[in-house]
Each structure stands twice: as structure tokens, then as C-alpha cells.
Amino acid sequence: MEEVMKSSVAELEQSQTQLAPEQNGGKKKRSKLKAMTWFDYVNYTFLLICVLFMLYPFYFVLIGSFSEGQDYMGGGVWLLPRIWTVANYQVIVSDNLLWVAYKNTTIRTLVGSTLSLSFTSIVAYAMSRRELKFRGVFQILNLITMFFGGGLIPYFAMINLLGLYDSFLVYIIPAMYSVYNMIVISGGFGSISEELHDSAVIDGAGEIRIWWQIYLPLSKAVHATVLLWLAVGNWNAYYSTMIYTQGGDHVITLQYYLMNVINKAAYSPEVGGEILEQVTPRTVSYAAIVVAILPILFVYPFLSRYFVKGVFVGALKG
Amino acid sequence: MGENITLEHPIVKKNKRKFKKWTGRDITLFTLACMGIAFLLVFSYIPMAGIFLAFKEDDSRYFNIFDVIEFAPWAGFGNFEEFFNDQKFWSVVSNTLGLNLLMLLINFPAPIIFAILLNEIMHSKYKRFVQTLSIFPHFISWVVFGGIVLALTDMTTGVVNPIIYFFGWGSRDNPINLLTADYFWGLLIVISMLKGVGWGSVIYLAAITSIDSQLYEAAQLDGANRFRCMLHITLPSIAPTITVFLLLNISNLLSNNFEQFYVLQNPANIKKSEVLATYIYQMGMISRKYSYTTAMGLFESCIGVILMLTANYISKKVAGRGLFG
């Protein structure tokens, strides 16, 4: 634990110093710029091909979703739709359940991620303090759960015992705390200068106030990163709906809905027959997929700079 | 943590003096830390205690877990014997192990290579472009990705078969169903790669950018070319990061991402696609063999811990560092 914490702290510090002076990286790169060799051409091309391979699947589904259903099923739609239509979207958007699932997933993502971040952060604050009594014991108790667990059935029994089965709270409460995120956040706290804490103590601030007014604002990057993980995890979660609920309207999530659309063509559109004639379950499921990734696509450009700059360094260490 | 720092610290000194007395601050911190432990108690430790279920008999009379907990007779190691003697269980274990070992061989080094190649890009805009796009698939759920894989591999509308045909395998009238048992492992490795390689490379790339550039300059003065720099500077410098992830991977040799397998499973590939994670779900949630499943889960957990400790020990002996201390 000590070692893990130490290394993550050290690397977070590194990554933060890296983050601040942008020019530093730029300078290094400028001095490296030399004539392109054959290796560079091969490398540039190879990486471009890799990226194309990674993104083409999404493009493939996108063009499928704009294709006329019957025509699409004939095959051969690889680059552009042969017959363009928005009927698939009209069909999927008219299914009320999609919006119910969307709403549930949005609430889950917003509420669940925020609560989990706050709770984990305040515990992480306590765990990052060297003067915490029995700190070693706390660390060990936390760490054990990362490597050993009771397994599916006892956990399921616990969920039942708490009355969380088939309740919306099953998405929120069991996800309130994560040891892994705690270690990441307390690594971030650990890199904050101890003098700040001392002066706040002299000014008479309580520990919770120090956390809220000094430590939290000073480790925004780490918190943003963890919040992002939590949000993406919540948005993409399928397992919890399948196992801990019966998939009713009050608990249905987007991924669960999507799974049913993809595998069982389970959607009930409220559109006229002439629109339904233009679609097949397959192309409708493509439209559903696109609708489900749209929010991620929308926020991605704003968030991607976080990963690229390497805030994750210390974070990814376990 | 860094003893000399601790000793010099005024706050710690103060605390040392009043070792016995708990200040208000101590109580606040202690309570906060206890909140975390309270959570773990409910969601980790009590379920951990629930592994005694593994030593109870499965009885079709008890449909409810709590009835099994309360009334079912003790079975000793009966459940363990049962699955140790079960052909199905061993085929599941060999699927799990086989696939994970293959992935360790192929999907583990891939992000490292990707990161090193990415680092060789001189134009920072292009570098950022490639990196940003390559991370994207990581943020897409397995449900969506599974749906996309079904679309790509479809025998009439998909795009994979025409490509295979283009390279001279199969025939136009007889397309290959890639979701059958024969191709499942290959398919899984390829799609895991597509989804994970960009994300996996983030950490390595970050480690590479923190290497002191003077090392490269010195090597270049000594006449080392780029490949030698990669081999003798970049790789050794990120070795500690690689070790950490290797250890984590080894301790997870028996675990899989449930959703990844669940979305792609079908009766035609179940022979090759059933892994412990999905088998435990199948036996526990569908067949409701609670005790049997708990026993399997316990087996998986124990092997995981043993693997981790062993790998950690070997790593400490060989490389001088492990996950902990």
C-alpha cells in the first residue's frame, strides 16, 4: 500500500508539473524535429491505418442507420448508404421506452457519479492525512477488498437484504465508494503542500472545511478524471440492470434497452406504416446505437484533452 | 512514507507529543475514514463472510438464497469436489486461462508498442490527433461495441467477410460465420485490441514523455540510432510501469470482463466463449445453484490471490520491485 501510494503520488506530481508548463513539451519536440526518414513515413501511415481500423466500425453503423432497411439487408453498404432515409431514427425516437431509459441513465450518471465522487473524495482526504490514527489498519482494510471478494451470490444476497433489488438506488448506493478511486484521489491530495494545511489549521479551519476549500479546488484535475471515469462507467453500465433489477420502467437503463433492441428487436414504435416499411430491425438497432453514443460523442472533444495530457499517469496505477 | 520528511514535520511532532490524546481533528479524520470502512463492511466484508455458502448443499427446495443460508445442510467440500469432477467446469477454466494467456501474449504488449510508435511521431498535432481518436473506442460500452461487431461480421451485410474474401479465403457463396466457436477467440482478441489499445497506451505514453530528454541526446551523441534509443532507453525507462501492469494482468488470469463475453455469446460459440465470469452468472442467476456458484467464485478469488502473490514475489526477486513494497 505504502509503495503504491508513494509511486502514484510521485507520478501525479510529475504529471502535474508536466501539465503546467505547456511550452516545455513544445521545446523538446521542436529540437527533435528533423527530416522525415523512411521509418517516419511507414510509422505515420501505420498509425493512420490503425486509427481508421478503430473508427471504421462506428462509421459502418452510422451509414447503416441512414440506410433504407430492405435495401441494406441486400448487403454491400460499406461506404455510403445506397438509399438514404431517416426512417430508422423516426422509428427509434418514437419509442417511448428509449426516452425512459435515457432519462434513467442520465439521472444515474449525474447523481451517481457526483455522490460517489464526493463520498470517495472525503474518505480519501482522511486517508491521505499522515496524522490519521490507525492509518495503516485503514489502508490494509481498504486494500484487501481490491483483491479478494465474496463473489456474485453473497453480494447479490446483500443487495437483496438491503432492499436494493429492483430499486433505482441499486445504481447509486453500492457505487458510492471505490477503493481504487480513493487511492487515486488521495494520491492527488498527497501532492499538495503540507504548509497549506498547516496555515489553514492556524487560521482555525476544521478538517472538513480544509478539504472543501483548499484540497478539493487544488486537485481539480484528479477529481475531473475520476468523475469522468465514474460518468462513463455509469453511462455504459449494463450488468447492474440485468442482475439487480427486473428491467422495469423505473430502472431500465439505456444499455439494457439497447441490448434488447439489438438482440430481440424489442422496440415499440408509434409511427405510421409507410415509415415502418422502410426499416428493418437491424437498421433500427443501428439508429439506436448512434442515439446512445451521441452524448459521448458530444462531450468527447471537451474531455479528450485530459487524457492526452496525461493526468492519468498516477491514476492508472493500482 | 519517507521517514525523514515525517520527522521534520511540525504537525507530526505535535501529534507525537500528545500520543494518547485525540484532538477534535483526529476524531473527524477517524470518522471519515470509518465511513469508508463502514461501506466496505456492508458491500465487501459481510459478503466475504458469505462464502460459507460454498460449504452448504444445493437443494432445489430452496429457491431463495436466504433459505439456503438458513436451512440447507452443510456439504463440507462437496461443492468443490463436484466442480472439480465436472468436465464442463474444466472446459470453462481452460477457455478462461487459454484466452487470457493469449491476450497476455498479444493484447498486453500491443499498447506498449503503440505508445512507442506514437512517441516517435514528431508533429505534435498529428500525435494528438492519433491519440485522441484511438482512445475513443474505450468510452463506448460493450453492449454498443457488441452490436457493432455483430453488424460488421454479419454474413450478408457485414464487411468482414468481403475483406476475407478479397484476401482469398472463403468464397462468396459460402461466407464465414465469425461468431461460431472456431473463430471466437480470434475475433475476441481483435476486437479487444481495437477497443483497448489506444487507452492502454495512454499510461505508457505518459511514462515515456517523463523520460529525461538528455538521455536521448547523450545516446545520439554516442551514435545510437532511433531503434537503439527505443530499445535501450525508452523500453528500460518504462519497465517499472510495464511490470505493474503485467502483475495486475497475471493476477487477473481467471477473470474476464463479463459484458464483453455476454454480448457476443450465442449457442454456436458457447463451447469456446463460456468463461468463468459468464459461467458463474449462468449457474448462479439462471440455474440458481447458489452454493455451487459461491464455491466456484471462492476458487476463482483464491487462485487470483495466489497468482498475484506469486507474481509479486517473483517480480521482487527478479526485477527488484513488485506491486507492494
| pLDDT tens for each residue of A106-118 | 999 999 999 999 9
Segment 162-181 of chain B within 8 Å of chain A by CB: 162
For residue B60, what is the enclosing H or E element? none
Of A50, A152, A255, the CB nearest to B143: A255
Contact call for A131 and B15, based on CB within 8 A: yes
Distance from CA of A272 to the nearest CA of B (A): 26
Residue with cell 459502418: A60
Which of A5, A77, A152 is the best residue to mutate to test the B interface, defined by the most B CB atoms within 10 Å of its own CB? A152
The CATH number assigned to the domain holding A299 equals 1.10.3720.10
Mean pLDDT of all residues in A163-184? 94
pLDDT under 50: residue ranges of chain B: 1-8, 325
**Which of A73, A155, A237 lies closest to B157 in CB terms?**
A73
- Share above pLDDT 90 across residues of chain B, in percent, rounded to a whole number: 40
> How would residue A147 be classed by pLDDT, with cut points 50, 70 and 90?
confident
Per-residue pLDDT at A315 exceeds 50: no
Q: Does A317 touch chain B (CB under 8 A)?
A: yes
Give mean pLDDT, residues A75-83: 89
Asked whether the CA dihedral A296, A301, A303, A306 is positive or negative, the reply is: positive
Query: How is residue B206 written as a grid cell?
Result: 505518459
Tell me the DSSP string of B233-258: IIHHHTHHHHHHHHHHHHHTTT---H
Which range (A180-184, A284-288, B49-53, B60-64) has the least confidence?
Answer: B60-64
Q: Which of B262, B96, B294 is nearest to A149 (CA)?
A: B294
* CB-CB under 8 Å, A312 with B51: no
Lookup: cell for A167? 430499486
CA distance B197 to chain A (A): 9
pLDDT value at residue A121: 96
CB of B69 closer than 8 Å to CB of A157: yes
Q: How many domains does chain A have?
A: 1
Closest chain A CA to residue B199 = A307
Residue B206 and residue A162: Cβ atoms within 8 Å? no
Q: What is the DSSP string of B115-166?
A: HHHHHT---HHHHHHHHHHHHGGGGS-HHHHHHHHHHHH-TTT-SHHHHHHH
Q: In angstroms, what separates the C-alpha of B48 from chain A's closest C-alpha?
A: 4
**Global pTM value:** 0.85
A201/B contact by beta carbon, under 8 A: yes
**Chain B residues closer than 8 Å to A203 by CB:** none
Q: Retrieve residue B16's grid coordinates.
A: 507525537
A-contacting residues of B 29-88, CB under 8 Å? 29-30, 32-33, 35-37, 39-40, 42-51, 53, 65-66, 69
Please say whether the dihedral angle defined by the alpha carbons of residues B24, B28, B33 and B35, taken in this order, is positive or negative: positive
- Give backbone dihedrals phi and psi of A276, rounded to 5 degrees, phi first: -60, -30
Distances (CA, A) of A291 to A14, A110, A174, B183: 39, 19, 28, 30
Contacts of residue B148, defined as CB under 8 A and 6 or more positions apart, other chains included, come to A57, A58, A60, A61, A289
Q: How many CB pairs below 8 A link A and B?
A: 320
Q: What is the DSSP letter of A176?
A: S
A302 touches chain B (CB under 8 A): no
**Helix or strand or coil: residue A33?**
coil
Q: CB–CB of A221/A134 below 8 Å?
A: no
Q: What is the mean pLDDT of residues A127-140?
A: 93
Q: Check: CB of residue A126 under 8 Å from CB of residue A137.
A: no
The Cα of B34 is separated from the nearest Cα of chain A by a number of Å equal to 8
Comparing CA positions, the residue from B264, B39, B63 lying closest to residue A162 is B39
pLDDT tens-digit map of A247-283? 899 999 999 999 999 998 888 888 888 888 889 999 9
A10 pLDDT above the threshold of 50: no
Say whether B159 and A46 touch across the interface (CB within 8 A): no
CB burial class (10 A; 0-12, 13-18, 19+) of residue A80?
A: exposed
Cα–Cα distance, B272 to B264 (Å, whole number): 11
Q: Which triple of cell numbers denotes residue A140?
A: 490494509
pLDDT at A103: 96
Residue B51 to residue B297: CA distance in whole angstroms:
9
Q: Determine, for residues B47 and A15 on separate chains, whether the beta-carbon distance falls below 8 Å.
A: no
Q: Could you say which residues from 77 to 106 on chain A have a Cβ atom under 8 Å away from some Cβ of chain B?
A: 77-78
| Residue numbers of the domain that contains A310 | 2-316
**What is residue A7's predicted lDDT score, i.e. its pLDDT?**
44
The answer to whether B203 faces chain A, any CB pair under 8 Å, is yes
Task: Give A 272-291 residues with CB within 8 A of chain B.
Answer: 282, 285-286, 289
Cell of A266: 424489442
B-facing residues of A in 52-81 (CB < 8 A) are 53-55, 57-58, 60-61, 64, 72-78
- Percent pLDDT > 90 in chain A is 61
Q: Are the Cβ atoms of A29 and B124 closer than 8 angstroms?
A: yes
Q: Do B203 and A26 touch (CB under 8 A)?
A: no
What tens digit of pLDDT does each residue of B232-279 get?
A: 999 998 988 898 888 888 988 988 889 999 999 999 999 999 999 999
Q: How far apart are CA A30 and CA B310, in angstroms?
A: 45
Dist. CA B36–CA A138, nearest whole Å: 9
Q: CB B53 to CB A282 under 8 A?
A: no
Q: Answer yes or no: are the C-beta atoms of B243 and B65 closer than 8 Å.
A: no
pLDDT at residue A23, as a whole number:
41
Residue from the list B29, B290, B293 with its beta carbon closest to the beta carbon of A132: B29
pLDDT confidence bin for A28, thresholds 50/70/90: very low
Set of cell numbers at residue A190: 498527497
Q: Is residue B159 within 8 angstroms of chain A, CB to CB?
A: yes
| Integer Cα distance of A192 and A128 in angstroms | 10
- What are the cell numbers at A109? 450518471
- The reply to whether residue B36 touches residue A126, judged by beta carbons under 8 angstroms, is yes
Do the Cβ atoms of B293 and A152 come within 8 Å?
yes
Between the CA of residue B157 and those of A54, A85, A278, B3, B188, what are the distances in Å? 19, 17, 17, 65, 20
Chain A residues near residue B145 by CB distance under 8 angstroms: 57
- CA distances (Å), origin A59, targets A45, A80, A257, A307, B142: 20, 9, 22, 23, 17
Tell me: pLDDT of A2 over 50. no
The partner residue sitting opposite A312, judged by closest CB among B51, B158, B206, is: B206
Q: Which of B213, B296, B304 sits opposite A147 (nearest CB)?
A: B304
The band of A133, judged by pLDDT with boundaries at 50, 70 and 90, is very high
Res. A178: pLDDT tops 50: yes
In Å, how far are A39, A132, A134, A295, B21 from B27, measured between CA atoms? 61, 9, 12, 43, 10
The full 3-state SS of B298-325, as one line of letters, equals HHHHHHHHHHHHHHHHHHHHHCCCCCCC
**pLDDT higher at A75 or B118:** B118
Instruction: Name chain B contacts of A58, Cβ cutoff 8 Å.
Output: 136-137, 140, 148
In this complex, do A255 and B141 lie within 8 Å of one another by their Cβ atoms?
A: yes
CATH superfamily name and code, B86-288: MetI-like (1.10.3720.10)
Q: Complex ipTM, two decimals?
A: 0.85
Q: How confident is the model at residue A302 (pLDDT cuts 50, 70, 90)?
A: confident
Question: In whole angstroms, what is the distance from residue A279 CA to residue A287 CA?
Answer: 10
- Residues facing A67 on adjacent strands: A84
